[in-house]
Amino acid sequence: MSNVAIMGVVFVMLQLLRGLVIMSECKRHRILMVSDFFYPNFGGVENHIYYLSQCLLKRGHKVVVMTHAYGNRSGVRYMTGGLKVYYIPWKPFLMQNTLPTFYGTLPIMRTVLIREKITIVHGHQAFSTLCHEALMHARTMGYKVVFTDHSLYGFADAGSIHMNKVLQFTLADVTQAICVSHTSKENTVLRSGLPPEKVYVIPNAVDTAMFKPAPEQLSCKEIIIVVISRLVYRKGADLLVEVIPAVCRLFPNVRFIVGGDGPKRVRIEEMREKHSLQDRVEMLGAVPHAQVRSVLITGHIFLNSSLTEAFCIAILEAASCGLLTVSTRVGGVPEVLPDDMVVLAEPDPSDMVRAIQKAIHFLPRIDPQAMHLRMKKLYSWHDVAKRTEIVYDRALAFSNQDLLDRLSRYLPCGAWAGKIFFVVMLIDFLLWRLLQWWQPSTEIEEVPDFSMMNQNYVDNPTQHYPPDG
């Protein structure tokens, strides 16, 4: 046998041993991630699901994603590392959410759960219709369910009241819940009535391999302030309309780069025309996530003007690229970065201008490379995956309850709402029983397991940006 052949055999044996070590360290889970928000759409929830799934795959678990169809993208697709995605044939109805059907997704959900031999269903985002229906059906069928809340909601307006009641219904029988910040945990516990001991805090992370500083530090002769955000009310686009002209008046050497799109873009463009700032405010429009880093490294300061934020991954991406952050002091933002890496301000134009002024004077002391190295230690998707794995273990440790015990959890949700939720879940149970009679589980073909991970990917899962699956 040649030396090359011997080396090949040794390499295969080492990989088998590596897999056995991973499997001996943790119990293998079979996880179904469900949300209306996934690629090719881009955002914080989409990134979270993708990177968490990749790291869980690396740790030896099986992960499958379910989302709705995006345009012509329907059916089963494979992404980097063998991540399997079911794009079910439901079209988005409003803001990337599918139309609520209550029971319409039950047959396809049951089929996927049986085909993939799933043990845990993990739903993401309170605003996702598909997530709520998946958790409802999964509990009916006796699966353990975990929910991750990525946003903050109020208590006064009609939309928030409606959403909070839906969340209370969905989480009445959830096994475990995860929030991305302590502020988000307090908000979720108040809105849903979940016992605090069932809710865990696991922050987001950043792909530091993708978000690196520029090779050479920028000169401070001209200071560039970067804004990359959806230009909507919740993201504080109206604040930008007042802050940008005031900063430009105070500092002649400051220039703004605004990336993003949305209904408030017109207001920013009108402001630029009114104050003749066309040469100092550059509007990029929508920026694909793969190009965000190339925009960030052209700037010195990252400006976040959100009015509400559970965590804000954009701040992590900017800090990983070596930018000093100026942000509104809202939601979970104060928990994200150390005090010497961010300047916080109240969501008020004058206070934000003062914060930017403070950040400009602080700039000479910023070392982008040192900031990047600190971010690598502070935030890692591998750490997020390990902590999520612990939540899965605790979820599986819960004993199954009979139907009456489960249904009784919905009655305290309200004088009338509790009875409605009780009936909804009872009907869901009867429909599931009907499906079991109509198409027994033994008639649904199970999918064989296989892995598409190569060695380079196993070592560096976050260095591979999700391709067009």
- Each residue of 1-13: pLDDT tens digit? 565 555 555 555 6
Tokens at residue 240, please? 């930008």
CA 434 to centroid of chain Cα atoms: 35
Position 196 pLDDT exceeds 60: yes
Q: Identify the pLDDT of residue 394.
A: 93
For residues 157 and 109, which has the higher predicted lDDT (pLDDT)? 109
Assess if residue 152 is contained within a domain: yes
CA atoms within 13 A on the CB side of 191: 27
DSSP character at residue 74: -
Query: Are residue 252 and residue 334 in the same domain, yes or no?
Result: yes
Assess if residue 457 is contained within a domain: no
Query: Are residue 164 and residue 76 in the same domain, yes or no?
Result: yes
Strands 199-201 and 301-304: unpaired
Position 66 pLDDT exceeds 70: yes
Query: Are residue 265 and residue 341 in the same domain, yes or no?
Result: yes
Among 358, 378, 398, give the residue marking a domain's end: 378
| Torsion (CA) 230, 33, 164, 238 in degrees, nearest 10 | 0
Residue type for 55, please?
A: C
Query: Are residue 189 and residue 327 in the same domain, yes or no?
Result: no
Query: Are residue 155 and residue 270 in the same domain, yes or no?
Result: no
Which helix (H) or strand (E) segment holds residue 86: the answer is strand 83-88
CA 384 to centroid of chain Cα atoms: 12
Assess if residue 86 is contained within a domain: yes
Mean pLDDT across the chain: 87
Reported as a pLDDT band with limits 50, 70 and 90, residue 466 is low
Assess if residue 11 is contained within a domain: no
Assess if residue 57 is contained within a domain: yes
- For the stretch 114-156, pLDDT in tens is 999 999 999 999 889 999 999 999 999 999 999 999 888 877 7
Among 353, 378, 403, give the residue marking a domain's end: 378
Q: Identify the pLDDT of residue 111.
A: 96
Query: Are residue 368 and residue 393 in the same domain, yes or no?
Result: no
Query: Are residue 306 and residue 346 in the same domain, yes or no?
Result: yes
Query: Are residue 299 and residue 374 in the same domain, yes or no?
Result: yes
Query: Are residue 303 and residue 408 in the same domain, yes or no?
Result: no
Query: Are residue 84 and residue 108 in the same domain, yes or no?
Result: yes
- For the stretch 9-57, pLDDT in tens is 555 565 555 554 444 444 789 999 999 999 888 788 998 999 999 999 9
Assess if residue 450 is contained within a domain: no
Q: Supply the CATH number for residue 131's domain.
A: 3.40.50.2000
- For the stretch 373-408, pLDDT in tens is 999 999 999 999 999 999 999 999 988 778 888 888
Alpha helices (H) along 26-173: 44-58, 106-115, 129-140, 158-171
Assess if residue 463 is contained within a domain: no
Among 378, 400, 425, give the residue marking a domain's end: 378
Domain that holds residue 262: 223-378
Number of domains in the chain: 2
Position 451 pLDDT exceeds 70: no
CA atoms within 13 A on the CB side of 347: 17
Q: How far apart are the first and last CA of the chain?
A: 40
Assess if residue 10 is contained within a domain: no
For residues 100 and 281, which has the higher predicted lDDT (pLDDT)? 281
| Torsion (CA) 424, 427, 431, 436 in degrees, nearest 10 | 110
Position 469 pLDDT exceeds 70: no
Q: Identify the pLDDT of residue 404.
A: 84
Residue where the block lists tokens 């504080």 = 236
Tokens at residue 382, please? 């591998």
Query: Are residue 233 and residue 368 in the same domain, yes or no?
Result: yes
Q: Identify the pLDDT of residue 94.
A: 77
- For the stretch 313-360, pLDDT in tens is 899 999 999 999 999 999 999 999 999 999 999 999 999 999 999 999
Query: Are residue 256 and residue 350 in the same domain, yes or no?
Result: yes
Residue type for 327, please?
A: S
Q: Identify the pLDDT of residue 78.
A: 92
